[in-house]
Amino acid sequence: MEEYEEGGEGLLDDKDEQVEFGSVDQIDEVDDFHGISKTSEGTTILSFVTKQGIMVGADTQRSSHKTGESTGTKNKIYSLGNRILAVAAGCVDRSTRLLRRLQHEFEAAENGDKPMSFRDVYDWIKNEFSHGPLSASWYEKWKGRNVNILLVGWTLEPKTKRHKCNIVVMDDLGHSIRKNSICVGSGKSFAAPLLILDYEPNMEFEASEDLAKRCICLASLLDNKTGGDIHLGILQPDRWMEIPIHKSIDELLETEYPWMTRDYYDLVLERLKQKIASTSKKQETCRPPSPVHVCQLACAYASLILLDLGISITAEKIATLLKASNLAVPSYWPILFAELCEKKNVLDLILNVGGPVSPVAEENT
């Protein structure tokens, strides 16, 4: 596969409203999009960047928004040529109707003079949410609660000639957010913590396939609105490769993941909390180095403290005091000061810092 770069995270562009995806440090609210409206019908869809391309997965369950009961199955992934996918979440009848129209528009553009780019597809969906049939008065009572579209695709950077991958979620209120890994749907509360916990950039094919299957199976087990089969594949810059899953979700839970229970989900949450705490601790310790004059002054004070306590001045003891003072000082400063204190009288060094030049020094210049 050709070289590619990730599209990054955040807004698709500066014109879109600033929203944030549910952050990992808010596990109790991990099902909130903080701006993106939440779907209320049975769906679990996900996407994340892997070493081979963009993994995209969805369950096929279709549920009633009134009862939550299964009403059959539905394909939720729509291919637009070989480089863009649109995935429906919530109000499956209405969202898939929109995506079928999009497919028609896309094919007409491909056969015409101006094929649709990823940005063109994004703008088309956004316009339909604002002015199309989905925004008609008969639909107002559902607006903002039921329709999310996951848009996945590739763009070619003209300068670098490298492919750039994009994973974007849109809702029918005009919000959009871009992530390198994301879950959408009523099953997201259960799938997202596992995806956050086990996802790593540049995952190999087998690991990424297993992660996608585990996320959707766990969501289906704990969210009675999702289920059916798993529709899974890898989107590369020039093709959409479907991954055959020959077992239903129930069969996968019985044969491949018999250990997957509510206790497993609780364990995932606990591990995620530990991961967050560990990450926060690392961020606290990875501080930028202090300015040079601060480093020098800190080492001087540490040397005076050791001298006053009658303790030999060594690089290790200076470094210990600096660490206790919560200062980020490069390791060579304690070594330099310790070597200097071996050769010179510490009090003379301190008293002469910034003072007038001695006669001896003047004669030597």
Residue 364: inside a domain: no
- Provide, rounded to the nearest whole percent, the portion of the chain with pLDDT above 90: 17
Q: Output DSSP code: residue 159.
A: T
Residues 230 and 94 in one domain: yes
CB-based contact 199:187 (threshold 8 Å): no
Residues 202 and 64 in one domain: yes
pLDDT of residue 38: 47
Rounded CA-CA distance 56/37 in Å is 21
Helix (H, G, I), strand (E, B) or coil at 231: strand
CB-based contact 209:51 (threshold 8 Å): no
Flag whether pLDDT at 363 surpasses 50.
no
User: Which residues face 86 on adjacent strands?
Assistant: 78, 151
Average pLDDT, the chain: 75
189 phi and psi, to 5 degrees?
Answer: -55, -30
Q: Are strands 4-6 and 163-171 parallel, antiparallel or unpaired?
A: parallel
Residues 210 and 303 in one domain: no
Can you tell me the mean pLDDT for 93-110?
86
Residues 209 and 339 in one domain: no
- How many CB atoms neighbour CB 2 within 10 A? 11
pTM exceeds 0.85 for this model: no
pLDDT of residue 281: 60
Q: Tell me the CA distances in angstroms from 219 to 134, 142, 223, one per residue in order.
A: 28, 24, 6
Domain boundary (251, 282, 313) is at: 282
pLDDT of residue 134: 54
Domain boundary (282, 302, 318) is at: 282
Residue 360: inside a domain: no
CATH at residue 341 = 1.10.10.1410
Q: What is the pLDDT of residues 166-222, one digit of tens each?
A: 898 887 777 788 888 888 887 888 898 999 889 988 889 999 999 999 999 999 888
Residues 216 and 87 in one domain: yes
Residue 361: inside a domain: no
Residues 276 and 296 in one domain: no
Q: Tell me the CA distances in angstroms from 109 to 83, 124, 151, 238, 305, one per residue in order.
A: 14, 12, 18, 18, 76
Residue 334: inside a domain: yes
Q: Which two tokens stand for residue 79?
A: 């291919």
Can you tell me the mean pLDDT for 50-78?
71
Residues 220 and 272 in one domain: yes
Residue 92: inside a domain: yes
Q: Tell me the CA distances in angstroms from 305 to 346, 347, 353, one per residue in order.
A: 11, 12, 17
Residue 30: inside a domain: yes
Rounded CA-CA distance 326/1 in Å is 47
CB-based contact 52:236 (threshold 8 Å): yes
C-alpha closest to that of 341 among 297, 292, 299: 299
Rounded CA-CA distance 110/106 in Å is 6
Residues 259 and 312 in one domain: no
pLDDT of residue 29: 34
Unique residue bearing structure tokens 């081979």: 52
Q: What is the pLDDT of residues 103-120, one digit of tens each?
A: 999 999 988 888 898 999
Query: Hey, what amino acid is at 222?
Result: L
Rounded CA-CA distance 103/86 in Å is 9
CATH at residue 56 = 3.60.20.10
Flag whether pLDDT at 306 surpasses 50.
yes
Least confident of 142-146, 240-244, 300-304, 308-312: 142-146
Flag whether pLDDT at 81 surpasses 70.
yes
pLDDT of residue 288: 64
Rounded CA-CA distance 115/130 in Å is 23
C-alpha closest to that of 168 among 186, 149, 154: 149
Residues 192 and 270 in one domain: yes
Residues 38 and 158 in one domain: yes
Least confident of 2-11, 16-25, 70-79, 318-327: 16-25
Which residues are CB-neighbours of 324 under 8 A, at least 6 positions away? none
Q: Tell me the CA distances in angstroms from 6 to 39, 135, 154, 156, 159, one per residue in order.
A: 27, 33, 10, 12, 16
Flag whether pLDDT at 69 surpasses 80.
no
Residue 358: inside a domain: no
Q: Which two tokens stand for residue 332?
A: 């060579």
Residues 181 and 299 in one domain: no
Confidence of residue 55 (pLDDT cuts 50, 70, 90): very high
Domain boundary (225, 247, 282) is at: 282
C-alpha closest to that of 225 among 60, 57, 32, 362: 60
Number of domains in the chain: 2
Q: What is the pLDDT of residues 220-260, one digit of tens each?
A: 888 876 678 999 999 998 899 999 999 999 999 999 998 89
- Provide, rounded to the nearest whole percent, the portion of the chain with pLDDT above 70: 70
Residues 108 and 31 in one domain: yes
Q: What is the pLDDT of residues 26-52, one digit of tens each?
A: 333 333 333 444 444 467 889 999 988
Query: Hey, what amino acid is at 351?
Result: L
Which range of residues forms the domain containing residue 326?
292-353
Residue 253: inside a domain: yes
